[in-house]
Chain A
Amino acid sequence: MEPLRAGVPAPEFELNSTPDQRVKLSDFRGRRAILAFYPADWSPVCGDQLALYNELQEEFANHNAMCIGVSVDGAWCHAAFREQRGYRLALLSDFEPKGEVARAYGVYRDKDGVSERALFVVDEEGVIRWSYVSPIGINPGADGILKALEQIDGRTS
């Protein structure tokens, strides 16, 4: 499975962000979206990675972007995880059919039943401008995301 690359329109999706709220990618049109696919709630690396993105929300907003986490965990699991960690970041449940969105982006791990640790920066028009798949146990940090956002800033300003 090949992850989608820059230049490709980002596949539309609609997923639960809380047990009773749904979010569509097209809701972000006019703003940039940073999609952070991660394998699972509660695993130590994800925790740190999401904590960092959580901390950078303001910085991302300066680039007209918002970061959203996506994993195959259910909405109630996300709710408990967010509450326990104090995250404000939205976490989407790619839960039913399981991993469908991760598959559409080419970052589902069939054998493990979870997504890759993958990042996509989607621009205002819904086009992928940068993507990156990290080794699953390694926190990719945020520098790549910021560089991609700055590159888009440079072309559009």
Chain B
Amino acid sequence: MSLAKPVDQTDHVLGPDDAPVTLVEYGDFQCPHCRAAHFYLKNVLATMGDDVRFVFRHVPLTQIHPMAQAAAEAAEAAGAQGRFWPMHDAIYENQDLLGPQLLARLGVRLGLDMQRFSDDMQSHRYLPKVREDFMSAVRSGAAGTPSYFINGEPYEGSYDDEALIEALRFAAQAHAPHATRPQQGTRPRAH
């Protein structure tokens, strides 16, 4: 099943719009696998450079991760002040301390307008956006966290950097107009 909601201007995007490969992650800020994937991804994005466009969407599993929803809303609230990615990174980097106090502390550290940030958090201004991401994950057939889509197709391999880079390079090559396509059946699958 492929990505149900195309990448649009409501998304948080890193990398050029005309990159040959778009990687969409559905992630949960309190999920330990997503945290591990986040660190791998840093290397993936550095290695791929302008060949990849990365999009992060929320899929908070709120009943098993009680802080995931608040963290997603905090990232959106920071995003409204132009600081989505720094907040995204900071939450994963401090995941073991995740709580309301941490989110406020990160807001201060990132230089946010804290009155606006806490108003947005208290009014759950970005809850509908987070929920919309969640349902688009479900509609795309996403099952666990993190879930990745490469050029709209589900990626079922491992989330370690090596496996992801190989899959992204493969997709980039398949996308290139005059590329010699690799033999069939070489799409990497780690399990």
Q: What is the bound-complex CA distance between A149 and B141, given in angstroms?
A: 16
Interchain CB contact under 8 A, B143 and A140: yes
- Point out the residues of chain A lying under 8 angstroms from B191, CB to CB: 137
- Determine if A79 is an interface residue (Cβ-Cβ < 8 Å): no
Given contacts A141-B138, A142-B138, A146-B138, contact A54 B143 (CB under 8 A): no
Q: What is the bound-complex CA distance between A119 and B144, given in angstroms?
A: 17
Q: When each residue 71-112 of chain A gets 1 if its CB lies under 8 Å from chain B and 0 otherwise, what string results? A: 000000000000001111000000000000000000000000
> Chain B residues in contact with chain A, CB under 8 A?
1, 61-64, 66, 134-135, 138-145, 191
For chain A, the bracket of interface size reads 20 to 34
Q: Is the interface of B mostly helix, strand, loop or mixed?
A: loop
Q: What is the bound-complex CA distance between A137 and B143, given in angstroms?
A: 12
Given contacts A141-B138, A143-B138, contact A48 B63 (CB under 8 A): no
- Point out the residues of chain A lying under 8 angstroms from B143, CB to CB: 48-49, 52, 138-142
- Determine if A51 is an interface residue (Cβ-Cβ < 8 Å): yes
> Chain A residues in contact with chain B, CB under 8 A?
45, 48-49, 51-52, 54-56, 59, 85-88, 137-143, 146
Q: What is the bound-complex CA distance between A138 and B143, given in angstroms?
A: 9
4 closest A-B pairs by beta carbon, nearest first, are A139-B143, A48-B144, A141-B143, A141-B141
Residue of A nearest to B63 (CB): A54
Q: What is the bound-complex CA distance between A85 and B64, given in angstroms?
A: 6
- Point out the residues of chain A lying under 8 angstroms from B145, CB to CB: 48
Interchain CB contact under 8 A, B138 and A86: no
CB distance from B25 to the nearest CB of A (A): 15
Q: What is the bound-complex CA distance between A98 and B172, given in angstroms?
A: 50
Q: What is the bound-complex CA distance between A137 and B134, given in angstroms?
A: 23
Given contacts A48-B144, A48-B145, A139-B144, contact A55 B63 (CB under 8 A): yes
* Set B63, B139, B141, B144: member contacting A86, Cβ < 8 A: B63
* Set A45, A49, A56: member contacting B138, Cβ < 8 A: A56
Q: What is the bound-complex CA distance between A146 and B142, given in angstroms?
A: 13
Residue of B nearest to A146 (CB): B138
- Point out the residues of chain B lying under 8 angstroms from A51, CB to CB: 61, 63-64, 144
* Set A85, A86, A88, A141: member contacting B142, Cβ < 8 A: A141
